[in-house]
């Protein structure tokens, strides 16, 4: 265990202390203690920048389950470090914000911070693990802690619904990912990501490759809320706002992005990967932004906007994968897409975090998040308004904020698709820039709605629960820091490029980086009158027109009925499978013993006859058989007649006597077949059994004592006949295909010399195979004790009558 | 001879299964008893019914019948007797407590699960 391992595990360890701190220091808000940890971790990870800047990486391994090839390998490179700094940095800001957001008297803070720290540790584990199984373990930890955080106000029905939904969808994806990981292990023989990257050339030709690709992508898409798995994210907005800001905008939803970026060197050599990641990402851009416009809840808008922006990063990573098909690093225009993805990743975390915090402040200070009730808050909350405007303009892609830069780079990446000449991109590739552009227009529209419907327009005090006023300064610190970062990265993007962006890009496309070479990551504000600039101008122009005419075209959202939405598909699917399972169970578990016996016998007949036929096992050999004597035929006839008569007996008494006759005939058979001990035992036992039967018969209840013949039932008869025929066939076939001689020669030879007895059956029972007899005695003892207990033990006596 | 026995055993199994599928608890127990007869004869049959002396060394015969299946059947008879006796007393107690021997009425109520 090195310091790095302790750093990853420290949130888990610290989480153990939280309840004690909460109990011991009731006066102090627990969040203050928690705040220390992410700050320390952020400083710790900050120091790695100087290492990764030069292309160095850090690998530390601790054995966990070495015999399975599962190690806890911590691996820090540019990509992992970028995520680790996002997690700890935004984590610190969110904890600070939550100190003012959550009331220390009303809320169960110990739960909140335990879950939050668990999440932080899990997320650090995901981004810093090299071993896929360890990564998967931390991955599921994020799902669980997210579930707990969404359901934090568990008294609310919507919280529980949202938590369950996110759990089902992300765990579905997580399990798919586990399948993909196992396939990768089968192909490559290792769980280490870096070793798998090293053998990507041979993996791509493996027949399991495509399965692994799809399964891993399922994991990434469900976690990162890509279409059609985005539906859990809007419902996760029932979580407290700090949680939404942290998990559902800045970190957890980017775990899928991280996975795609991390796996790119392995999978991006395949055209399917580029099409799926790029295509689904881009459709998510459009779908998320289109649906964000119709939302009436501030956090609803932000949720769909997160979906859309994540789609944007995803599509850029997909297109960035195309770079692997062009060898030269210089003039490799597809690298720009990867760079844009990493840059937007940071930008999105900054502006989306601040916007969520703004939404939280508005909610906290007015009591509602409904934009129809809000309006004219500008004069009451000037600082919040400023932060909101910076965040929203950056989200819309307006200069001079960082969103502008990444949006320009996004357009560049999408225009570059037009020059792709592989994997049929010549034909449908033209859709990429068009969808991207339309998506950006809607992004502009909802960003404007977010700011202007909330802060300008008519002030409606009668609809608000509280009198609005500016938030306390503590609540404003975090969004102010994030908003300043938005501006700083907007004006000076190059402070990031060499230190953070370049190492991250190098980690995503390692095979293209020769020794000593670095990626060119200069981000320039002004790059001439390029098509991107005209696209941005078009976005602004159309966006303004659409925003101003919003009330006229809003009707198109009613064209698609609610019933056809993906949410009702999910709800219906869940209800349907519950009902299906219930009716399936009700359908075949009837509670009648007859039904179950029918299943058992039918299965027995079916599987036996099938295997007899399939293995061609039936054979009939006449010459080994013993001759038939007249006496045997007579006894056989007697046995058959007495047995069949049981079926036709009207009274129970008759059937019991017939059963007795059957038993005695069987003992006659034993006499015929030279088995004196059997005959003796059979006679005695048959007598006792018949006596017992008569006892039962005597105690039949009076009510149902009217006696009737068994009614003929064709179904029962067919099943019974099937069983009989099967057993007959088996008996003949087993007799005709004897593979070995009996071992009884030994018993016959040694019964006197070794065991000093002349009755072979008895010597076998008590000497050669005495253990059978011992436990048979046990069976009798248990049966008699059981009978005794049943008769004597009357714990509940029913009322008679 | 074995062919004839196989057919007889088949008829025993047919009757036993038909009885076990009926509604009356007593008939089900009769069915299990018939089934065990069939099983015992089956063990004896598939181990061949060659003629020979009973498995007693004092007979000084050329050949004896196979003693092993007889020992197995003896064990099986005793065990099936134990189980049948238990089952019968269980049925007897069920009559006493529940007042019926109809399996359909012994189904229990919906919602008891």
pLDDT at A620: 81
Collect all residues with Cβ–Cβ distance below 8 Å to A516 and sequence separation of at least 6: none
Pairwise CA distance, residues A152 & A107, whole Å: 10
Give the model's confidence band at A521: pLDDT under 50 very low, under 70 low, under 90 confident, else very high. Answer: low
* Structure token pair of residue A308: 């859309």
Residue B41: the pLDDT is: 93
Per the domain annotation, does B92 fall within a domain? yes
The answer, for A795 touching chain B at a CB cutoff of 8 Å, is no
Query: Mind telling me how many Å the CA of B48 is from chain A's nearest CA?
Result: 7
Cα–Cα distance between A212 and A671 in angstroms, integer? 68
Determine, yes or no, domain membership for B89: yes
Q: How far is residue A767's CA from residue A770's CA, in Å, rounded to a whole number?
A: 5
The encoded tokens of residue B29 equal 């127990």
B56 within domain boundaries: no
Average pLDDT over residues B3-20: 93
* Distance of residue A698 Cα from the nearest chain B Cα, in angstroms: 9
Q: What pLDDT digit, counting tens, does each position of A523-558 carry?
A: 665 566 777 788 888 888 888 888 888 887 777 777
Chain A closest CA to B9's CA: distance in Å?
7
CATH number of the domain within which B28 lies: 1.10.287
ipTM over 0.95: no
pLDDT at B48 over 80: no
Mean pLDDT computed over every residue of chain A: 86
Give the A window 296-315 contacts with B, CB below 8 Å: none
Which residues of chain B neighbour A624 with C-beta distances below 8 Å?
48
Query: Could you tell me which of A426, A98, A398, A400 has the C-alpha nearest to residue A240?
Result: A98
Give the B window 57-76 contacts with A, CB below 8 Å. 57-58, 64-68, 70-71, 73-75
Arithmetic mean of pLDDT, A607-619:
88
Half-sphere exposure of A514 (CA within 13 A, CB side): 5
Average pLDDT over residues A597-605: 94
CA-angle at A526, arms to A524 and A527, nearest 5°: 85
Which tokens is A736 given?
């005709």
Examine residue B12 and state whether it is found in any structural domain, yes or no: yes
Task: Using a CB–CB cutoff of 8 Å, tell me whether A798 touches chain B.
Answer: yes
* Residue A9 contacts B where some CB pair is shorter than 8 Å: no
Compute chain B's Rg from CA coordinates: 19
Q: A800: pLDDT confidence band, cut at 50, 70 and 90?
A: very low
CB A105 within 8 A of CB A27: no
The residue-averaged pLDDT of A237-253 equals 87
Could you give the percent of chain A with pLDDT greater than 90? 34
Total tally of structural domains belonging to chain B? 1
d(CA A670, CA A663): 11
Query: Comparing C-alpha atoms, which of A359, A504, A341 is closest to residue A414?
Result: A341
The Cα B10–Cα B18 span in angstroms is: 12
Q: Angle at CA A54, nearest 5°, toward A48 and A59?
A: 55
**pLDDT in the model for residue B112:** 43
**Rounded CA gap, A670 and A555, in Å?**
91
Residues pairing with A61 in the sheet = A73
Q: Which of B38, B82, B103 has its CB closest to that of A780?
A: B82
Residue A710: predicted pLDDT: 74
Q: Is residue B37, in this structure, part of any structural domain at all?
A: yes
Domain assignment present for B72:
yes
**What are the pLDDT digits (tens) for B72-81?**
999 999 999 9
Residues from chain B contacting residue A685 (CB–CB below 8 Å): 77-78, 81
Q: How confident is the model at residue A618 (pLDDT cuts 50, 70, 90)?
A: confident
Question: In what helix (H) or strand (E) does residue A64 lie, and over which residues does it extend?
Answer: strand A58-65
Which residues, listed in sequence order, are joined to residue B56 by a DSSP beta bridge?
A759
Q: How far apart are alpha carbons A353 and A247 in whole angstroms?
A: 10
Looking at residue A513, its pLDDT comes to 66
Q: Is residue B60 part of a domain?
A: no
Task: Pick B34's closest partner by Cβ from A632, A643, A675.
Answer: A643
**Contact with chain A for residue B32, Cβ under 8 A:** no
Say yes or no to pLDDT of A405 above 80: yes
Give the integer Cα–Cα distance in Å for A591 and A434: 61
Least reliable range by pLDDT among A290-304, A460-474, B22-36:
A460-474
Global pTM? 0.83
Asked if A776 and B78 come within 8 Å (Cβ–Cβ), the reply is yes
pLDDT digits (tens, 9 = 90+) for A72-106: 999 998 889 999 999 999 999 999 999 988 888 88
Instruction: Check if the beta carbon of residue A521 is closer than 8 Å to that of residue A505.
Output: yes
A732/B101 CB distance under 8 A: no
d(CA A666, CA B100): 32
Q: Answer with the residue of higher pLDDT: A567 or A525.
A: A567
pLDDT digits (tens, 9 = 90+) for A310-339: 999 999 998 888 777 765 555 567 778 888
Q: What value does the mean pLDDT take over residues A556-585?
A: 82
Instruction: Give the bridge partners for A74, in sequence order.
Output: A60, A129
| Selected residue of A585, A602, A728, A754 to mutate for chain B interface (largest B Cβ count, 10 A) | A728
Which strand (E) or helix (H) includes residue A72?
Answer: strand A70-76
> B22 lies in which domain range?
1-50+65-100
Q: Which residue of B has its CA nearest to A765?
A: B71
Q: How confident is the model at residue A801 (pLDDT cuts 50, 70, 90)?
A: very low
DSSP class per residue in A108-145: -HHHHHHHHHHHHHHHHHHHHB-BHHHHHHHHHHHHHH
Asked if the structure places residue B109 within a domain, the reply is no
Nearest to A403 by CA among A360, A338, A479, A352: A352
Interface check for A759 against chain B (CB to CB < 8 A): the answer is: yes
A720 touches chain B (CB under 8 A): yes
- With a cut of 70, say whether residue A424 has pLDDT above it: no
| Mean pLDDT along residues A455-472 | 76
Say if the Cβ atoms of A625 and B91 lie within 8 Å: no
Query: How much is the pLDDT for A565?
Result: 74
The confidence score (pLDDT) of residue B113 equals: 42
**Among B92, B107, B113, the residue to mutate for chain A (most A Cβ within 10 A):** B92
Chain A nearest-CA distance from B61, in A, is 11
Contacts of A794 (CB under 8 A, 6+ apart): none
Per-residue model confidence (pLDDT) at position A519: 64
Closest CA to A104 of A36, A161, A25: A25
Per residue in A485-506, pLDDT (tens digit) is 999 888 888 877 778 888 888 8
- Report pLDDT digits (tens) over A636-689: 999 999 999 988 888 878 888 999 999 999 999 999 888 999 999 999 999 998
A687-715 mean pLDDT: 75
Across the range A251-275, mean pLDDT stands at 88
Give A-chain residues touching B64 at CB under 8 angstroms: 748, 760
Is residue A461 pLDDT above 80, yes or no?
no
pLDDT reading at A456 higher than 90:
no
Of B6, B24, B56, the CB nearest to A759: B56
In chain B, % of residues over pLDDT 90: 40
Q: What is the pLDDT of residue A379?
A: 81
Residues A630, A650: Cα–Cα separation, whole Å: 32
**Which chain A residue is nearest to residue B67, measuring alpha carbons?**
A761
């Amino acid at each position: 265990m090195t310091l790095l391992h302790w750093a990853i595990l420290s949130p888990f360890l610290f989480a153990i202390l939280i309840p004690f701190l909460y109990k011991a220091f009731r006066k102090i808000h627990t969040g203050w203690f928690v705040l220390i940890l992410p700050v320390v971790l952020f400083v710790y990870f900050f120091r790695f920048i100087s290492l990764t800047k030069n292309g160095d990486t850090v690998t530390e391994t601790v054995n966990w389950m070495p015999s399975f090839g599962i190690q806890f390998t911590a691996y820090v490179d540019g990509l992992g470090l970028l995520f680790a700094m996002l997690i700890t940095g935004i984590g610190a800001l969110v904890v600070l914000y939550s100190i003012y957001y959550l009331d220390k008297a009303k809320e169960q803070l110990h739960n909140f911070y335990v879950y939050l720290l668990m999440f932080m540790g899990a997320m650090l584990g995901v981004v810093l693990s090299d071993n896929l199984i360890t990564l998967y373990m931390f991955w599921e930890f994020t799902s669980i802690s997210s579930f707990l955080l969404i359901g934090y106000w568990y008294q609310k029905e919507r919280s529980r619904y949202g938590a369950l939904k996110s759990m089902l969808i992300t765990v579905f994806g997580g399990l798919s990912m586990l399948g993909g990981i196992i396939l990768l292990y089968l192909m490559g023989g290792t769980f280490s990501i870096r070793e798998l990257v090293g053998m990507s050339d041979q993996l791509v030709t493996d027949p399991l490759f495509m399965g692994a690709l799809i399964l891993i992508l399922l994991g990434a898409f469900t976690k990162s809320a890509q279409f059609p798995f985005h539906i859990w994210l809007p419902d996760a907005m029932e979580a407290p706002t700090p949680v939404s800001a942290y998990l559902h905008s800045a970190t957890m939803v980017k775990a899928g992005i991280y996975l795609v970026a991390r796996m790119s060197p392995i999978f991006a050599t395949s055209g399917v990967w580029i099409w799926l990641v790029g295509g689904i990402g881009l459709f998510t851009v459009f779908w998320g932004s289109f649906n964000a416009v119709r939302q009436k809840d501030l956090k609803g808008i932000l949720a769909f906007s997160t979906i859309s922006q994540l789609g944007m990063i995803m599509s850029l990573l997909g297109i960035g994968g195309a770079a692997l098909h062009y060898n030269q690093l210089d003039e490799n225009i597809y690298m720009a897409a990867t760079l844009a993805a990493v840059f937007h990743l940071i930008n999105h975390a900054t502006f989306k975090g601040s916007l969520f915090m703004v939404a939280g402040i508005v909610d906290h200070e007015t009591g509602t998040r409904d934009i129809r009730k809000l309006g004219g808050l500008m004069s009451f909350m000037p600082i919040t308004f400023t932060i909101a405007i910076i965040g929203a303009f950056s989200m819309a892609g307006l200069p001079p904020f960082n969103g502008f830069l990444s949006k320009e780079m996004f357009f560049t990446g999408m225009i570059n698709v037009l020059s792709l000449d592989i994997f049929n991109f010549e034909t449908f590739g033209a859709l990429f820039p068009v969808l991207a552009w339309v998506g950006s227009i809607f992004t502009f529209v909802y960003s404007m709605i977010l700011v202007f419907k909330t802060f300008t327009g008519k002030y409606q005090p009668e609809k608000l629960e509280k009198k609005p006023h500016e938030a306390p300064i503590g609540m404003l610190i975090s969004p102010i820091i994030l908003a300043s970062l938005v501006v700083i990265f907007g004006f000076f993007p190059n402070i990031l490029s060499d230190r953070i962006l370049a190492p991250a890009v190098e980690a995503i496309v390692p095979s293209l980086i020769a020794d000593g070479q670095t990626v060119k990551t200069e981000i320039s504000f002004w790059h001439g009158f390029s098509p991107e600039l005209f696209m941005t101008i078009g976005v602004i122009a159309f966006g303004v027109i659409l925003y101003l005419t919003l009330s006229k075209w809003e009707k198109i959202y009613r064209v698609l009925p609610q019933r056809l939405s993906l949410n009702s598909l999910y709800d219906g699917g869940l209800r349907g499978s519950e009902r299906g399972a219930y009716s399936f169970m009700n359908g075949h578990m009837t509670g009648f013993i007859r039904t179950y016996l029918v299943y058992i016998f039918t299965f027995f007949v079916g599987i036996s006859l099938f295997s007899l036929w399939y293995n061609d096992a039936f054979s009939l050999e006449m010459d080994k058989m013993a001759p038939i004597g007249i006496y045997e035929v007579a006894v056989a006839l007697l046995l058959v007649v007495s047995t069949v008569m049981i079926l036709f007996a009207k009274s129970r008494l008759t059937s019991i006597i017939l059963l007795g006759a059957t038993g005695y005939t069987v003992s006659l058979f034993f006499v015929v077949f030279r088995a004196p001990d059997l005959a003796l035992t059979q006679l005695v036992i048959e007598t006792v059994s018949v006596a017992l039967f008569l006892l039962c018969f005597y105690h039949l209840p009076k009510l149902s004592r009217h006696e009737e013949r068994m009614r003929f039932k064709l179904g029962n008869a067919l099943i019974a006949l099937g069983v009989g025929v099967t057993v007959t066939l088996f008996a003949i076939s087993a007799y005709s295909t004897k593979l070995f001689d009996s071992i009884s020669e030994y018993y016959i030879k040694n019964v006197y010399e070794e065991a000093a007895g002349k009755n072979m059956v008895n010597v076998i029972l008590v000497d050669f195979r005495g253990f059978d007899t011992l436990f048979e005695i046990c069976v009798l003892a248990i049966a008699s004790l059981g009978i005794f207990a049943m008769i004597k033990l009357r714990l509940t006596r029913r009322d008679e009558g | 001879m074995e062919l004839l026995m196989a057919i007889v055993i088949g008829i025993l199994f047919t009757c036993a299964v038909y009885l076990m599928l009926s509604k009356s608890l007593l008939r089900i127990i009769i069915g299990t008893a018939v089934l065990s007869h069939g099983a015992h004869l089956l063990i004896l049959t598939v181990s061949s019914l060659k003629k020979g002396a009973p498995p007693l060394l004092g007979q000084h015969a050329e050949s004896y019948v196979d003693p092993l299946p007889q020992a197995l059947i003896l064990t099986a008879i005793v065990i099936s007797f134990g189980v049948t006796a238990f089952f019968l007393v269980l049925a007897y107690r069920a009559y006493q407590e529940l007042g019926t021997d109809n399996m359909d009425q012994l189904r229990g109520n919906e919602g008891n699960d």
